[in-house]
């Protein structure tokens, strides 16, 4: 097989390959929510294997999987709209416990003869839920609790036989038909902003669905290694290394499967942080990995000249990465496979994999791939979240210095330079970013926060430095806390730490006279600026 003529095919190696030997499974029907995979992850955290399937899955396929329960995800549509995603109503007649979440409960109510209509006031964010009915779903929990809402429609009237279990001051919060095993909640128990959400899911899984909680992430590792070994056979693979957690853990998994037939490739695209190229190569050498470093900054910057649109930047960088990989593969000999550390937050923000999810942005290793890649893709982490990836890495013995690195976007500093990417602007953000990280480490906060970085804004303003008027650029500091990257909150950094950052940036980084701090959460913002 030629390494440069093969049509790309994604080999997605995930925990679902273990499903055939795992009798206990919960299926999550995806109606397009940005939180669908988060539901699946929460279920796995509770020790139950979960698999995300399209909302259109036929009832006979569900029967064949023999799940313990079904969960209907949220979604961006209205159930009464023409063309809105709907599952086969027969799914609700299979005798399986079903939990509908947000759109899921609305769909259940609509299909079974209840009334769903637009809310008088859209309910978004934290809300106070009052439990008004007895149910195993809320057993032992406070009668009042904070939940996270995100809906413009509501269940006005439950179907016949359903009981109202909980309310907010604006809407019905939960309903159930216990005799049929049908439950629905208007809020999102899967997100961290619902403090008792994990316990509500636990009660559904164990007390209602009768799950035992015997699945472990170690099963994913074993099945993934076996699957890679089977698919790659005697072939060779090239791993796109970035120095971050995702690509490093992906490489460790593949190396465990095929040994020295995996070659790591780390490309300096001119968009790395200060000293990163040398540091990363040394780290991989200490891991005993076979790694080739390639300096290619000039060619990337040439392609980016004059480009300001962030989506276009991502696609250009992705295409140039692939060009480099092709060239290096030809030089290194016949290579059939390309390994990437794609994770589910990358996928869900880039493209709808299973349901009708909205596209937020392209990632260079997802939406930016050309149709004819030249390699067969191996993406062993494609359906895992960051904390799951870190746990896999710990079990594989990946060094702590890599596992605890903050996430870094595939396109690098190109998406942290708003506007045109030039060597001069890159040097500004690179210097400012180094200061932010140094001060976060100095304050002992590095491992406590999700990300901390600097962004160069396309904004100049008047300042006074040394009794002289200046008209220089603005740096934004972004520091967030998160568990999985799907939601995030800005960190209340001590004022003295922020003061040191701002003072040093203005004093040490030529061309900057103003520093601002980003206090927006995700949602509605993303973590990166772009």
CA distance 434 to 437: 5
Q: Does the annotation count 282 as an active-site position? A: no
Nearest to 363 by CA among 246, 227, 458, 480: 246
Q: Is the bond preceding 96 in cis, omega lying within 30 degrees of 0?
A: no
The CB-side HSE value for 416 (13 A sphere, CA atoms) comes to: 28
**pLDDT, mean over the chain:** 88
Higher-pLDDT residue of 386, 337: 337
Q: Give pLDDT, residue 37.
A: 82
pLDDT (average), residues 351-355: 44
Q: CA angle at residue 359 from 356 to 365, to 5 degrees?
A: 115
Higher-pLDDT residue of 270, 243: 270
Q: Is the CATH number of domain 416-517 3.40.630.10?
A: no
Element (H, E) at 127: strand 115-131
Q: Give pLDDT, residue 349.
A: 55
pLDDT (average), residues 412-418: 94
Q: Give pLDDT, residue 364.
A: 43
CA distance 426 to 411: 13
Q: Is 404's pLDDT higher than 80?
A: yes
Q: Give pLDDT, residue 5.
A: 29
| pLDDT, tens digit (0-9, with 9 covering 90-100), for 258-301 | 999 999 999 999 999 999 999 888 888 888 888 999 999 999 99
| pLDDT, tens digit (0-9, with 9 covering 90-100), for 94-134 | 999 999 999 999 999 999 999 999 988 888 889 999 999 99
CA distance 411 to 405: 17
Q: Does the annotation count 87 as an active-site position? A: no
| Marked catalytic residue, from 188, 193, 363, 364 | 188
Q: Give pLDDT, residue 486.
A: 74
**Are 216-403 and 416-517 in the same CATH fold?**
no
Q: Does the annotation count 160 as an active-site position? A: no
| pLDDT, tens digit (0-9, with 9 covering 90-100), for 29-83 | 999 888 888 898 899 999 998 888 899 999 999 999 999 999 999 999 999 999 9
| pLDDT, tens digit (0-9, with 9 covering 90-100), for 308-318 | 998 999 999 98
Q: Where are the domains of the chain?
A: 23-208, 216-403, 416-517
Q: Is 152's pLDDT higher than 50?
A: yes
pLDDT grade for 402, boundaries at 50, 70 and 90: confident
Q: Which CATH number does the domain 23-208 belong to among 3.40.640.10, 3.30.70.3270, 3.40.50.970, 3.40.50.880?
A: 3.40.50.880
Neighbour tally for 495: CB within 10 Å? 8
| Marked catalytic residue, from 18, 123, 190, 388 | 190
pLDDT (average), residues 140-164: 95
Q: Is 356's pLDDT higher than 60?
A: no
| Marked catalytic residue, from 87, 102, 211, 239 | 102
CATH class, 216-403 region = alpha beta
Q: Give pLDDT, residue 226.
A: 94
Q: Give pLDDT, residue 241.
A: 87
Give percent above pLDDT 90 in the chain. 64
Q: Which of the residue ranges 7-16, 298-307, 325-334 would you say has the lowest mean pLDDT?
A: 7-16
Q: Give pLDDT, residue 244.
A: 84
Q: Is 12's pLDDT higher than 70?
A: no
Q: Give pLDDT, residue 347.
A: 66
| pLDDT, tens digit (0-9, with 9 covering 90-100), for 461-505 | 999 877 788 899 999 999 999 977 778 899 999 999 999 999 999
Higher-pLDDT residue of 44, 356: 44
Element (H, E) at 498: helix 495-508
Extended beta strands in 224-379, E state = 237-241, 262-268, 291-295, 337-339, 376-378
Residue 153 contacts residue 121 (beta carbons within 8 Å): no
CA distance 80 to 505: 53
Q: Give pLDDT, residue 143.
A: 97
DSSP annotation of 93 reads G
CA distance 28 to 65: 12
Q: Is 388's pLDDT higher than 70?
A: yes
Q: Which of the residue ranges 308-312, 351-355, 368-372 would you say has the lowest mean pLDDT?
A: 351-355
pTM, two decimal places: 0.67
pLDDT grade for 219, boundaries at 50, 70 and 90: confident
């Amino acid at each position: 097989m030629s390494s440069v003529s093969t049509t790309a095919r994604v080999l997605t190696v995930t925990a679902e390959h273990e499903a055939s030997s795992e009798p206990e499974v919960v299926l999550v029907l995806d109606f397009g929510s940005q939180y669908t995979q988060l539901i699946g992850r929460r279920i796995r955290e509770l020790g139950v294997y979960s698999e995300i399937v399209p909302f259109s899955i036929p009832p006979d396929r569900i029967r064949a999987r023999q799940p313990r329960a079904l969960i209907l995800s949220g979604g961006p549509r209205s159930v009464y709209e023409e063309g809105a995603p709907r599952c086969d109503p027969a799914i609700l007649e299979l005798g399986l416990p079903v939990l509908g979440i947000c759109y899921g409960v609305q769909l259940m109510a609509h299909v079974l003869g209840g009334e769903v209509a637009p809310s008088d006031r859209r309910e978004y964010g934290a809300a106070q839920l009052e439990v008004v009915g007895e149910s195993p779903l809320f057993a032992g929990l406070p009668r009042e609790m904070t939940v996270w809402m995100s809906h413009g429609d509501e269940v006005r009237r439950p179907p016949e036989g359903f009981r109202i279990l909980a309310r907010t001051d604006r809407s019905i919060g939960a309903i159930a038909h216990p005799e049929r095993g049908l439950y629905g909640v208007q809020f999102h128990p899967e997100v961290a902003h619902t403090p008792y959400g994990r316990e509500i899911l636990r009660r559904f899984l164990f007390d209602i669905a009768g799950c035992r909680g015997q699945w472990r992430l170690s099963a994913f590792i074993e099945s993934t290694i076996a699957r890679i070994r089977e698919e790659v056979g005697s072939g060779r693979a090239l791993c796109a290394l970035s120095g971050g957690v995702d690509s490093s853990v992906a490489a460790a998994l593949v190396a465990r499967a095929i040994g020295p037939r995996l070659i790591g490739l780390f490309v300096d695209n001119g968009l790395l942080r200060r000293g990163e190229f040398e540091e990363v190569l040394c780290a991989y050498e200490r891991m005993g990995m076979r790694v080739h470093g390639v300096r290619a900054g000039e060619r990337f910057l040439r392609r980016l000249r004059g480009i300001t649109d962030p989506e276009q930047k991502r696609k250009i960088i992705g295409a140039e990465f692939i060009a480099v990989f092709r060239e290096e593969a030809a030089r290194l000999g016949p290579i059939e496979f390309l390994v990437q550390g794609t994770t589910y937050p990358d996928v869900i923000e880039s493209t709808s994999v299973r349901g009708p999810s909205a596209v937020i942005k392209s990632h260079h290793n997802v939406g930016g791939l050309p149709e004819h890649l030249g390699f067969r893709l191996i993406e062993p982490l494609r359906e895992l979240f960051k904390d799951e990836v870190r746990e896999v890495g710990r079990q594989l013995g990946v060094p702590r210095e890599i596992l605890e690195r903050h996430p870094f976007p595939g396109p690098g500093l190109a998406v942290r330079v708003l506007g045109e990417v030039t060597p001069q602007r890159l040097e500004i953000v690179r210097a400012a970013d180094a200061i932010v990280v140094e001060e976060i480490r100095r304050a002992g906060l590095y491992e406590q926060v999700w990300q901390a970085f600097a962004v160069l804004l396309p904004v100049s303003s008047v300042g006074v430095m040394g009794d002289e008027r200046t008209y220089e650029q603005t740096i934004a500091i972004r520091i967030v806390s998160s568990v999985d990257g799907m939601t995030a909150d800005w960190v209340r950094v001590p004022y003295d730490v922020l003061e040191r950052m701002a003072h040093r940036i203005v004093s040490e980084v030529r061309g900057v006279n103003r520093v601002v701090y980003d206090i927006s959460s995700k949602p509605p913002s993303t973590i990166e600026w772009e």
